[in-house]
Amino acid sequence: MERVVYTKAGGLETIGLEPVKETEPKPEMVRVRVHRAGINFADLMMRQGLYGAAPDFPFTPGYEASGEISAIGEGVEGLEIGQRVLAMTGFGGYSQSVEIEAGRAIPLPDSMSFDAAAGLGVTYGTAYHMLVYLGNLQAGDSVLIHHAAGGVGTAAAQICLAYGATNLIGTASSTKKEFVESLGMRFVDKDSEDFVQVCKKMTGGKGVNQAIDPVGGSHLLRSYKALCSGGKLHCFGASSAISGSKRSMFSALKMWRSTPKFDPLKMMNSNKAVFGVHMGRLGDESIFASHLQALSAMLEKGQIEPIIDSVWPYRKVADAQQHMHDRKNRGKILLDFS
């Protein structure tokens, strides 16, 4: 058994592999034999040492994995060996075998594949949390989605359509126009078009009901300007801090220095809200669990279906991450640990 390890902060050359020593799970824990692990943008940031919530190096990344329970610790109820689960690992999911608290192993319905399960947790959970739980998404709403072709972006578009949102505006690189349009969004080329103008134009000058912004820095202010009265902005990332597979402190500093300070009085006068969202710091795991329950039901009804860009053998993890650095993914990237 092997797992991926980030040896120190830096580029792709800092990624290594190490053996996993399996022991009997501690009480209230289960061991999962992993089939698929999801790659998230945050994994790139933490490899570069730009992610505050990450453990100290060396560590194994990976928020989510799907697989089968291979051993059960004392006191665990309701789970059995061989059961197919989604493991919300927190960290450590990039591994052939991982031990987690039993409550973080979510049983999968027979109809859900390991690919769909590993593509559902973080991306759909985050999109649902912002748009539905915080944002009170309604039929007829208009929504601005950045990174529209990525993991969270594709999930957000599907959730919006399932709730009857009508005006979806999605920004991405120019090569993704057809893909973004196929998801029901008005495509905006992030490098050559003004998304604020497009949002205003598509809503008769009012602006959109919600905007989800993972770019950060001064980009947040433009997303805020795209909102209507009563609109909500979700700040949930800082992708502008990353300029490639090597760490650039210049990009990180530029993002941080250009981050706006929202003034509550101005927000009051314009009837707009700003949410900060960090799914790793919800503090109440039952919130995320209930999102996953709602999403499983939507998946079973065919309202959502994770879009898998590609599945890479785990030993090719550096190539898989380079694929994301190169902005080539359309949907979710997975690692194969089976």
Ligand X SMILES: NC(=O)c1ccc[n+]([C@@H]2O[C@H](COP(=O)([O-])OP(=O)(O)OC[C@H]3O[C@@H](n4cnc5c(N)ncnc54)[C@H](OP(=O)(O)O)[C@@H]3O)[C@@H](O)[C@H]2O)c1
Give residues in contact with ligand X (CB under 6 A). Answer: 40-42, 122-123, 126, 147, 149-153, 172-173, 176, 190, 214, 236-237, 239, 242, 277-279, 324-325, 327, 329
The least CB distance from residue 155 to ligand X, in Å, is 8
Q: Check: CB of residue 162 under 8 Å from CB of residue 180.
A: no
Nearer CB in complex with ligand X: 41/163: 41
The least CB distance from residue 311 to ligand X, in Å, is 15
The least CB distance from residue 143 to ligand X, in Å, is 15
The least CB distance from residue 115 to ligand X, in Å, is 16
Nearer CB in complex with ligand X: 67/119: 119
The least CB distance from residue 126 to ligand X, in Å, is 4
The least CB distance from residue 110 to ligand X, in Å, is 27
- Percentage helix, strand, coil for the chain under 3-state DSSP, each rounded to 5: 35, 25, 40
The least CB distance from residue 248 to ligand X, in Å, is 10
Nearer CB in complex with ligand X: 29/320: 320
Nearer CB in complex with ligand X: 102/252: 252
Closest CA to 211 of 120, 288, 273: 273
Alpha helices in 175-330 (DSSP H): 177-182, 195-202, 219-225, 249-257, 264-270, 285-300, 317-325
Strand 105-107 relative to strand 84-88, pairing: antiparallel
Closest CA to 321 of 19, 37, 35, 58: 37
Closest CA to 305 of 143, 176, 162: 162
Task: Work out the burial of residue 59: count CB atoms within 10 Å of its CB; fewer than 13 is exposed, 13-18 middle, 19 or more buried.
Answer: middle
Distance CA 97, CA 59 (A): 15
The least CB distance from residue 291 to ligand X, in Å, is 12
Nearer CB in complex with ligand X: 3/176: 176
Nearer CB in complex with ligand X: 151/231: 151
Distance CA 93, CA 62 (A): 4
Measure CA 19 to chain center: 28
Which two tokens mark 286?
């039952």
| DSSP 8-state secondary structure symbol assigned to residue 104 | G
Nearer CB in complex with ligand X: 60/123: 123
Residues 6+ apart with CB under 8 A from 192: 174
The least CB distance from residue 139 to ligand X, in Å, is 25
Nearer CB in complex with ligand X: 206/254: 254
26-40 in b/e burial notation, b at 16+ Cβ within 10 A?
eeebbbbbbbbbbbb
Nearer CB in complex with ligand X: 30/220: 220
CA dihedral 214→220→222→226, nearest 10 degrees, is 70
